[in-house]
Amino acid sequence: MSYPNPAKNTVDDFELEEVIFTSNRGEGTSYAIQNIITDFDIYEHLDKPFLSMKMAIVDTVNFVQSVDLQGGESVRITIQSLETKKAGEKIVKNFIVDKVIQSTRPDDKTEVYYLHCFEDIVLTSSLVNINRHYNNTPAKIVQNIINEYLGRNVIRSTDEYQTNMQVIVPNMHPIEAASWIKNRITSVDGFPFYLYSTLNSDDMYLVDLGQLLSRSPINKKAPMTWIQSTSQQHLTDNVMPILKYEHKHVDDILSLIRSGYAGASYNFLNTLTGQNSLCEFDVTNDVFEQLRDHTIFKEQNRYNYPSSAGLTVTGSQVMTKIASNGSYKNANYSVRTLDEESDPIAYKKRITGAALKNFMSKAPITVQVNGRPFIAATGDYTIGNVVRLLFLDSQLEQDKTADPDYKKSGDYLMYSAKHSFSTRNPNRVVTTLLCARLSMYSDNLSVGDFMNV
């Protein structure tokens, strides 16, 4: 991954090759509108199996009136990054207009329309109701729903812990149903699964957090770096500058405790047997210590949690759920239902999954960087990958390279991304990344050591 220096760069970051707007009114006429688009943002998120987009149309020719924009129109957008132009690789995405967010009139001859769009599968999904039964593993049910109703290929982790379940989808659209089932999946180690789409691929991904966090940082030797001090500017030669960052509303430990993700007693009641499966949950012993030898904690081994502070009191929260009434228990065979498990260990996997997912949001950081590396159509470089961030500590000494600020520095999972494209000469793309992690590096590494971990 090479980084262009935006300050010195005068050439376009990308080429907006084509934006085709197709109205669903009348005969379905198509229009090439790339010349009247000034800005557009494309959003990706690990919790959403579709992309969304906001775009600004500068209308000086009564375009919106003439096409009678009503919502539901399709917008096909073709982008080419400079890195992949020679190879001819392009990003082509199909969206539908969800709504007009706002229209403003800066002068008598111009109207600016801000449109909100979803990837086309959202409309496809919204037009289908699923009310049918499934009997399979939850990951295969999700895959079947996506394949059958949305026509997308699903690339998934095979490390699924859960066995077959029988379920009747109670009137949901396919994306809603797939997400509903997906929330019941964990890996063998208890990592939750994510179902997401990316900018650079037409596939959908169903991957567990353990697999995502185990990935090597895509910028291992050249971290995204925040540098303000002029004495440290020499570092910028090998790194990607962070243009802006935001680190707020983090380390909200109380909400994690109150939600039962730090320590709680979980009861899973089966009304057919009248028995209760009790799971005493303690995130330190049941999650972090259990995963101590996992790849994700091999280098970055300081948990993002004050484990010795006495905050994990198992009885401090009591959660009780009816997990089964033997809906699918017959005389000679039975199939588990949506929230039913065979034993307390299996229930604990689910709690672990939910806890890990929530601990991921404990200390996120938002960074803004040049977006060119992320729009290369040759591979997936955006959400679901790990990036390395470097912040220098505030105790700067004269003529000495500062140490990393380990509270913010480290390897993070890209959880969501906003790619802001601007077609004002030259064409620019800036990416805003929401990054999350479960652990930090130890605090005795120098900047040089950090780049070589």
User: Which residues of this chain interact with other proteins, rule CB under 8 A?
Assistant: 131-133, 135, 166-168, 170-171, 180, 183, 259-260, 266, 269, 271-272, 317-322, 324-333, 337-339, 350-351, 354
Q: Please, which residue, 92 or 168, has the CB nearer to other proteins?
A: 168
Q: Please, which residue, 238 or 271, has the CB nearer to other proteins?
A: 271
Least distance to other proteins, CB of residue 49, Å:
18
The C-alpha atoms of residue 259 and residue 100 are separated, in whole angstroms, by 37
Q: Please, which residue, 243 or 269, has the CB nearer to other proteins?
A: 269
Q: Which residues contact 16 (CB under 8 A, 6 or more apart)?
A: 34, 37, 77, 78, 79, 421, 423, 427
Least distance to other proteins, CB of residue 160, Å:
17
Least distance to other proteins, CB of residue 270, Å:
10
Least distance to other proteins, CB of residue 348, Å:
12
Least distance to other proteins, CB of residue 317, Å:
7
> Among the residues of 325-431, which ranges form H helices?
344-360
**Nearest-CA neighbor of 206 among 141, 295, 136?**
141
Identify whether 404 is preceded by a cis peptide bond (ω within 30 of 0). Answer: no
| CB 229 within 8 Å of CB 218 | no
Q: Please, which residue, 286 or 403, has the CB nearer to other proteins?
A: 286
Q: Which residues contact 240 (CB under 8 A, 6 or more apart)?
A: 3, 219, 222, 223, 224, 225, 369, 370, 373
Q: Which residues contact 74 (CB under 8 A, 6 or more apart)?
A: 20, 21, 22, 24, 94, 95, 96, 97, 120
Q: Please, which residue, 35 or 273, has the CB nearer to other proteins?
A: 273
Least distance to other proteins, CB of residue 335, Å:
9
| CB 182 within 8 Å of CB 128 | no
Q: Which two tokens stand for residue 227?
A: 């540098």
Q: Please, which residue, 325 or 427, has the CB nearer to other proteins?
A: 325
Least distance to other proteins, CB of residue 171, Å:
7
Q: Which residues contact 318 (CB under 8 A, 6 or more apart)?
A: 264, 265, 267
**Nearest-CA neighbor of 199 among 96, 79, 305, 103?**
79
The C-alpha atoms of residue 289 and residue 269 are separated, in whole angstroms, by 28
Q: Which two tokens stand for residue 95?
A: 């969206």
The C-alpha atoms of residue 289 and residue 212 are separated, in whole angstroms, by 20
Q: Which two tokens stand for residue 108?
A: 């008598």
Least distance to other proteins, CB of residue 196, Å:
18
Q: Please, which residue, 135 or 446, has the CB nearer to other proteins?
A: 135
Q: Please, which residue, 203 or 339, has the CB nearer to other proteins?
A: 339
Q: Please, which residue, 351 or 433, has the CB nearer to other proteins?
A: 351
Q: What is the DSSP string of 90-135?
A: -EEEEEEEEEEEEEEEEETTEEEEEEEEEEHHHHHHHT--B--EEE
User: Helices 174-182 and 138-145, interaxial angle, to 10°?
Assistant: 160
Least distance to other proteins, CB of residue 327, Å:
3
Least distance to other proteins, CB of residue 437, Å:
22
